[in-house]
Amino acid sequence: MRNILAVAGKELRSYFHSPIAYLVMAVYSVLCGFFFYSFTATYVVQTFRMQAMGGMGMPSMTINDYVIRPLFEGVLAIVLLLLIPLITMRLYAEEKRSGTIELLLTSPITDLQIILGKFLGALLLYGTMIVITFGYLGVLFIYGNPFAKPLIAQAVGLFLFGGALLALGMWISTFTKNQIIAAVVSFAVFLLFYVLNWVTAYSSGAVSRVLAYLSLTTHFDAFSKGVVDLKDLVYYLSVIVLGIFLTARSVEALKGRV
C-alpha cells in the first residue's frame, strides 16, 4: 500500500507540476459551466412559459430531469472526448520516453503496485475535476429544491465511467513513447465506445445487441436517471479491471516475457 501511495503521489505531483492538471480543470470548468448555464436558462424560460399556459395536462418539469440529467450527459461527452486522454496519455508514454520506466521496473515493487498507483493518481485528478460539477449543482440547491438522492447515483456513475476510461487510456499509453499518439488513439477508442450503441438504430440482431451492451454510454443511462443498477456497476468495474489487467500484460511484454 505504501508503494501504491508513493507512486500515486508522484503522479499527482507531476500533474500539478506540469500545466496538464490546470489545463484539464480549466477546460472542464468552462465547458461544464456553459452547459450548466444553458440548461438552467432553458429550464427557467420553459417553466415560465408553462406557468403562463397554466401547465394544463403537462407533466411537471423538475430540475433533476431538465438540468441535472442533461448536464451529466453533456459532461460525459467532454470528459470522454477530450479530457481523459489528456490525463492518461503521459502515464506510461512519458516514463518510456524519459527512461524512468527503468527505475520503476527495477525497484522492489510489483508491476501491479505501479499500475494501481498510477491509476489512483489519475483517478484523484479526475475526482478533483468532477467535484467542480457539484460546485455548479450547489447553486441549484440555493435557488431551487432539486432531489438530492439521484445526485449520489449520478456521482457514482460519473466516477465509474471516468475510472473505466482512465484504465483503458492507461493501457493505450503503454504502447508508445509519444504522448500525442497515446492521446489520439485513446480519443479514437473512446469515441468508438461512445457511439457503439448507435447500431441499435439500424439493426436489431444479436451482434448489435452485444455492441450496444459494450457501449459505455448505454450503461450510463440508469445512473443519469438516478438509479444504481447492479449490471451497470458490474460493467464499469469489469472495464476498470480489464484495463488494469491489459496494462499489466503490456508492461510484462515490455520486459520481453511474452
Partner 1 sequence: MIEVENLTKRYGPTLAVSGVSFQVQKGEVLGFLGPNGAGKTTTMRIITGFLSASSGRVRVAGFDVAEAPLEAKKRVGYLPENPPVYTDMTVNEYLAFVGRIKGVARTELKKRIAEVSEKCAVADVQNRQIGKLSKGYRQRVGLAQAMIHNPEVLILDEPTAGLDPKQIIETRELIKGLAGQHTVILSTHILPEVSKTCQRVVVINKGTVVAMGAPDELTARLQGYGTVLVTAEGPAPEITSKLQTVPGVTLVEQRESSGPRITLEVHTEKNHDVRAELARAVVQSGWGLFELKTSGMSLEDIFLKLTTRDLGEEAAAQKELPAGGGEAKAEN
Chain residues binding partner 1 by CB under 8 A are: 2-3, 6-7, 9-10, 13-14, 17-18, 98-110, 255-257
Q: Least CB distance from residue 250 to partner 1, whole Å?
A: 15
Distance CA 114, CA 103 (A): 11
Closest separation in Å from C-beta 148 to partner 1: 40
**Least Cβ distance, residue 132 to partner 1 (angstroms):** 24
Q: Which is nearer to partner 1, 225 or 249 (CB)?
A: 249
Give me the least distance between CB of 21 and partner 1, in Å please.
12
Q: Closer to partner 1 at the Cβ: 60 or 106?
A: 106
CA dihedral 194, 130, 233, 192 (to 10 degrees): 10
Which CB sits closer to partner 1, 27 or 105? 105
- Closer to partner 1 by CB, 54 or 99: give it: 99
Listed in order, strand segments (DSSP E) in the chain are: none
8 A C-beta contact, residue 138 and residue 113: no
Look up residue 230 and give its three cell numbers: 447492479
- Residue 240 CB neighbour total at 10 angstroms: 20
- Distance of closest approach, residue 14 Cβ to partner 1, in angstroms: 6
Query: What CA–CA distance (Å, rounded) separates 144 from 244?
Result: 41
Comparison of 8 and 240: residue with beta carbon closer to partner 1: 8
Residue nearer to partner 1 on the CB measure, 3 or 29: 3
Chain centroid to Cα 6, Å, comes to: 24
**Which of 119, 72, 153 minimizes the C-alpha distance to 240?**
119
* C-alpha span between 133 and 32 (Å, rounded): 7
**Please, what is the minimum distance in Å from the beta carbon of residue 111 to partner 1?**
10
Quick one: cell of 179?
504522448
**Which residue is associated with the grid cell 479514437?**
188
Minimum Å distance from CB 18 to partner 1? 6
Measured CA to CA, the distance from residue 21 to residue 26 in angstroms comes to: 8
Nearer of residues 46 and 110 to partner 1, judged by Cβ: 110
